[in-house]
Structure 1
Amino acid sequence: VFKKLKVLEIIRCSDVAMASLDLSPMPSLVKLVIEYSGSFDQITTSIWGLGKLECLRITGWAMERLSSSIGNLSSVQTLDLGGCRSLSKLPESLGDLAALRELILSGCVSLLHLPQLPCSLQTLDLGRCESLLDLPKNLGDLAALRKLILSGCESLVHLPQLPCSLQTLDLRGSYQLLELPKNLGDLAALRELILSKCQSLVHLPQLPCSLQTLDLKGLYRLLELPLNLGDLAALRELNLSGCESLEEIPSSVVQLNHLRTLIVSGCYKLHRLPQLPSSLITLDASGCIHLSQVADISSLQDLWIFQA
């Protein structure tokens, strides 16, 4: 009856139903979604025989480990295990998924380590993996990786070398992170760098000139901006709000001819703003209680300057 079924979604079914689930009569499944938050912690072994499966989403499951048989799913392009809060270990066979493009592990709060990952990956989402201690050593070899989300990885202290293919790097809320990879400036495809609330960062390395968005919100220990700030010719948005230790904005900021938004709110030690680029449309300097000098800002359409 179900031999031609291609999509199956199982939402909030009972423990009894999960215990008796058999997918073997559905060999043509391309997409399988299981949203389950009960106590049954064993995935039916019939999943591993679904050779045509391209998308597997298993969210909220109570399982602690994923079977090494995951490596049998040679056609899987998307694997979503988001919200599996008890999941603490992934099998080495995960690296055998040669078709895998998207791996979502967001909210896997018990996950400590990751195995080697397939070089086909384009998106890796580890948001809110609060216990994650490190990243795979082969991360820098993932030449197809475009998007890396590490927001809320509260236990991460260091990062390995990153692949030059990255376009988005989101580290917001990784507040124990002490430093960024030294090859960050070599990531010629990077467009978006989000470091908000990475509260342990004191210095930043050279940044790639391809950046369009740079979010440094809440880096209250940051003492200075990168020396090559003026070389970020593609930069459109710069958020420095809450950088309480920052005393000056480099004069080279005037070279940022595509900059449209500059946010320096809450930069308490900032006394002056240098000449700003004529491309700037929005300036937020609210709460800069010591700011006494602002250069020509006639090009602005939106301006916030007040003392809180």
Structure 2
Amino acid sequence: MRKCESITYVDQSILCLPKLETLDLGECSSLKTLGSNICSQYLRVLHLAESGLKELPPSFSFTNQLSYISVTINYGLVDLPENVARFIVLCKSINKKDDNFSILQKAFPCPVFRSLKGLVFQSISLRATEIPDNISLLSSLQYLGFLNCTAIKSLPESINYLTRLTFLEVWKCKKLQCIPALPPSIQYLHVRRCQSLQRVLCSVMKPVKRPIRVFVLSDCLKLDDHSYDAILNDALSGLNLHS
């Protein structure tokens, strides 16, 4: 159903298909509502990004928590049901006048985000100044991704306070110049095709037991020597702790 521009609602018979696992309503720009307040108990993946649907009905309920939901950055984020999904992908707003900073600042303190395990910013012309410091409130976050965010030049320093964050992925952020100090919990750092990246500031940490780290930096041709050395030393410290 993706890119079906004429659809304005989803019929209940579709939402309640007994074996429905994935529903893709992305880029259905005329979509205004879902035709039912319930859905299949097997539904695990729901794509709503860049659709006309600004929020889920307050009475909308999921029999089981979704594994994944993609939504557009909009003011309806604050009304997402608690525990709606373990993983949320935020995509660009259809309304260019929307204030990303204000929307995210109001959304991050909400229960749905504070219990979130994974968060991705995808294909958004998002600047670092548009990501509020209160992203540090996402205390359950284990995965954070910035994918094809072409305007961002640096990541918010407050991600250093995400004490459960284990995986940071940055892909095709062509203007990104710096990655700040990361929390000691980080196990995987995957950075690809960030041609402007110059600095990666590894965190200063006490020697604690932790899994061996995996750092992947591909096509980051401007990365300075100090960052290379810092990454190598930080990775080797993990090896020493497990030797």
Q: Aligning the two structures, in what range does the TM-score lie when normalised by the shorter sequence?
A: 0.5 to 0.7
More off after superposition, 216-225 vs 165-174: 216-225
The equivalent residue for 1:213 is: 215
Q: 3-state DSSP class of the match of 2:198?
A: coil
Structure 1: gaps (5+ residues): 1-9, 237-254, 259-308
TM-score computed with the length of structure 2 as normaliser: 0.65
Q: Which residue of 1 aligns with 2:194?
A: 197
Structure 1 residues 142-151 or 208-217, which shifts more?
208-217
Aligned match of 1:299: none
Structure-to-structure mapping, 1:287-298, within 5 angstroms:
none
- Contact map agreement 2:9 2:33 (CA 8 A) in 1: no
Q: 1:76 to 1:24 in 2, by over 3 A?
A: farther
Residues 43-192 of structure 1: matches in 2 within 5 Å?
43-44=33-34, 46=36, 48-50=37-39, 55-59=44-48, 61-63=50-52, 66-67=54-55, 69=57, 72-73=60-61, 75-81=64-70, 87-94=72-79, 96-105=81-90, 112-113=100-101, 114=104, 115-116=107-108, 118-131=113-126, 134-157=130-153, 158-162=155-159, 163-182=162-181, 184=182, 186-192=183-189
Q: Structure 1: how far apart are the matches of 2:231 and 2:2?
A: 51
Q: Deviations over 1:160-188 (max 9, x none)?
A: 42212222211233233343333x1x332
How far off is 1:196 after superposition? 4.1
Matched to 2:219, the amino acid is K
C-alpha distance in structure 1 between counterparts of 2:231 and 2:51, whole Å: 47
Distance 1:221 1:229 in 2: 13
**Counterparts of 1:19-34 in structure 2 under 5 Å?**
19=8, 21-23=10-12, 31=21, 33-34=23-24
Please give the alpha-carbon distance, in whole angstroms, between the structure 2 residues aligned to 1:196 and 1:149. Answer: 14
Structure-2 separation of matches of 1:12 and 1:177: 31
Whether the aligned pair in 2 keeps the contact of 1:70 and 1:93 (CA below 8 Å) is: no
TM score, norm. by length of structure 1: 0.54
Superposed displacement of residue 33, structure 1: 0.6
Q: Give how far 1:101 is off.
A: 0.5
Structure 2 CA distance for partners of 1:92 and 1:57, relative to 1, 3 Å: closer
Find the residue that maps to 1:232 and give its secondary structure: helix
CA RMSD in angstroms comes to: 4.1
Residue 136 of structure 2: SS of its match in structure 1?
A: helix
**Does structure 2 conserve the Cα–Cα contact (< 8 Å) formed by 1:99 and 1:120?**
no
Which residue among 215, 221, 224 is the counterpart of 1:222?
224
Decide whether aligned partners of structure 1 residues 24 and 234 sit closer, same or farther in structure 2, where only a CA change above 3 A counts. farther
| More relative contact order, 1 or 2 (CA 8 Å, 6+ apart) | 2
Pair 1:40 & 2:30 matched? yes
Q: Give the counterpart letter for 2:54 in structure 1.
A: L
Q: Which one has the bigger helix percentage?
A: 2
CA drift at 1:98: 2.7
Given the alignment of the two structures, is residue 233 of structure 1 paired with residue 236 of structure 2, yes or no? yes
Q: Which amino acid aligns with 1:66?
A: K
Following the alignment from structure 2 to structure 1, what is the Cα–Cα distance between the partners of residues 215 and 86?
25
Partner of 1:206, secondary structure, is coil
What is the distance in 1 between the residues matched to 2:145 and 2:199? 21
* Structure 2 residue identity aligned to 1:139: I
**Percent same amino acid among aligned pairs?**
12
| Rg (Cα) greater in structure | 1
The 1:20/1:149 distance shift into structure 2, 3 A limit, reads closer
Q: Give the secondary structure class of the aligned counterpart of 2:46.
A: strand
| Residue aligned with 1:91, SS | helix
Q: Distance in 2 between matches of 1:69 and 1:28?
A: 19
